[in-house]
Amino acid sequence: MALTSFELNARDGRARTGVIRTPRGDIRTPAFMPVGTAATVKGMMPESVRETGADILLGNTYHLMLRPGAERVAKLGGLHRFMNWERPILTDSGGFQVMSLSDLRKLTEEGVTFRSHVDGSKHMLSPETSMEIQRLLGSDIVMAFDECPALPADRARLEESMRLSMRWAARSREAFGDRPGHMLFGIQQGGLERDLREESAQALVNIGFDGYAIGGLAVGEGQEAMFGCLDFAPGMLPEDKPRYLMGVGKPADIVGAVARGIDMMDCVLPSRSGRTGQAWTRRGQVNLRNARHAEDPRPLEEGCSCPCCRSYSRAYLHHVVRAKEMIAGMLLTWHNLHYYQELMAGMRAAIAEGRFAAFEAAFHEGEALGDIERL
Ligand SMILES: [Zn+2]
């Protein structure tokens, strides 16, 4: 029997719910993956991340290869033991971040050479080195190495980049080899161009992957353009494999993506906004820096069962945000991750019960209300 599998349990419209089984545990889909960039979800203990309902974390190959280094992590027992998270981990390929973060990049058919943004040291990322680094980290879901152009990009650039990524996808598959218990995902590219997305999907399916990601979105094109692409892109990928939308997003982006057949997503937004005094609630975004909260004894979100809402007032949160106390980022990150996971659980239940459209309508009504009336 295969050590990993994907089971679809229910469909409602294009939305789907199911489970990815791995030796390190099940991942309920649609799944939201908190981002643990440098072997930590900033401001949270791993046990606390699990308490919010997360089944899987994302780790960044680019950051981890530079600091502390993949060989060091391997020597210390792998990323799961190193960071005290024994459940599944997905690692990205490093391709996206090397283009956005490193200095003095040089892109060739072979791969990308670059200088570290940490200490200026010189490195090379290629399909082969990316597979090796992700193997050393011990990641459960490995991403093929790809190149992702920022949007808007002209068609010639998108076409050239997509075809390079498909040649790299074949090399990634070859270098990954046969690793029972671990999955390799291919990444569809092609910008917003339908025929390029189709060509990319065909190339990936011919190579054969355990799951398929939609890359190259959420890079500045806006929600309308992204949804336009998601109206056709997921349908080009195999029905019986997980579909992962990379780097998304705000709660409304996530709900819209699930409605269009996406099974997995990741984003730094809930944790990053938690560190800047921003919260996400059923009634949209709340800025705790705002003076209106200074004497408000009410919880951030009435009825929320997270530790932040159970025990602290908006007045306290406002104070610790303004005073730049560490607990501000800790509490707001916890609430935000809890809210995101509740949203995913709500969608999974709604899809299973055939009431996703009603769930979606209620979600939008809630966001449209805006924050609670000031006292
Ligand atoms: Zn809360």
**DSSP track, 18-43:** EEEEETTEEEEESEEEEB-TTSS-TT
Identify residues whose C-beta is under 5 A from ligand 1, the ion: 301, 304, 306, 308-309, 335
Question: How far, in Å, from the CA of 272 to the mean position of ligand 1?
Answer: 16
368, pLDDT greater than 80? yes
State the average pLDDT over residues 233-251. 98
Say if residue 149 is preceded by a cis peptide, omega within 30 of 0.
Answer: no
Is residue 14 within 8 A of residue 257, CB to CB? The reply is: no
Per DSSP, the chain holds a count of helices (H) and strands (E) of 15, 16
Q: How far is the CA of 52 from the centre of ligand 1 (A)?
A: 10
Comparing 79-93, 114-128, 203-217, 227-241, the range with the smallest average pLDDT is 114-128
- Interval 148-195: pLDDT, tens: 887 788 999 999 999 999 999 999 999 999 999 999 999 999 999 999
Residue percentage of the chain with pLDDT more than 90: 94
Q: What's the pLDDT at 41?
A: 98
Query: How many angstroms separate the alpha carbon of residue 95 from the centre of ligand 1?
Result: 35
What is the whole-number distance in angstroms between the Cα of residue 76 and the centre of ligand 1? 35
User: Residue 356 above 80 pLDDT?
Assistant: yes
Which letter, b or e, does each residue of 364-374 get, where b requires 16 or more Cβ atoms within 10 Å of its Cβ? eeebeeebeee
55 is catalytic: no
From the list 92, 140, 210, 263, the catalytic residue is: 92
CA of 298 to the centre of ligand 1 (A): 12
Residue with tokens 């190259």: 216
Average pLDDT, the chain: 96
Query: Among this protein's residues, is 92 annotated catalytic?
Result: yes
Q: How far is the CA of 247 from the centre of ligand 1 (A)?
A: 23
What b-and-e string marks burial along 33-70, b requiring 16 or more CB atoms within 10 Å of the CB?
Answer: bbbbbebbbbbbebebbebbbbbbbbbbbbbbbbeeeb
Distance 118 CA to ligand 1 centre (A): 35
- Report CA(89)–ligand 1 centroid distance (Å): 25
How many residues make up the chain in this entry?
375
Mean pLDDT within 206-223: 96
Torsion angle defined by CA atoms of residues 47, 48, 53 and 56, in that order, rounded to the nearest 10 degrees: -50
Over the stretch 4-27, which tens digit does the pLDDT of each residue have?
999 999 999 999 999 999 999 999
- Residue from 12, 55, 140, 266 carrying the catalytic annotation: 266
- Measured in Å, residue 115 CA sits from the centre of ligand 1 at 41
Ligand 1 center to residue 304 CA distance, Å? 5
Tell me the angle at which helices 194-207 and 155-176 cross, rounded to the nearest 10 degrees: 10
Tens-digit pLDDT profile for residues 247-270: 999 999 999 999 999 999 999 999
Could you read off the pLDDT of 328-351 as tens digits, one per residue? 999 999 999 999 999 999 999 999
Using 50, 70 and 90 to split pLDDT, how confident is the model at 1?
low
Rounded to the nearest whole angstrom, what is the distance from the C-alpha of residue 141 to the centroid of ligand 1? 30
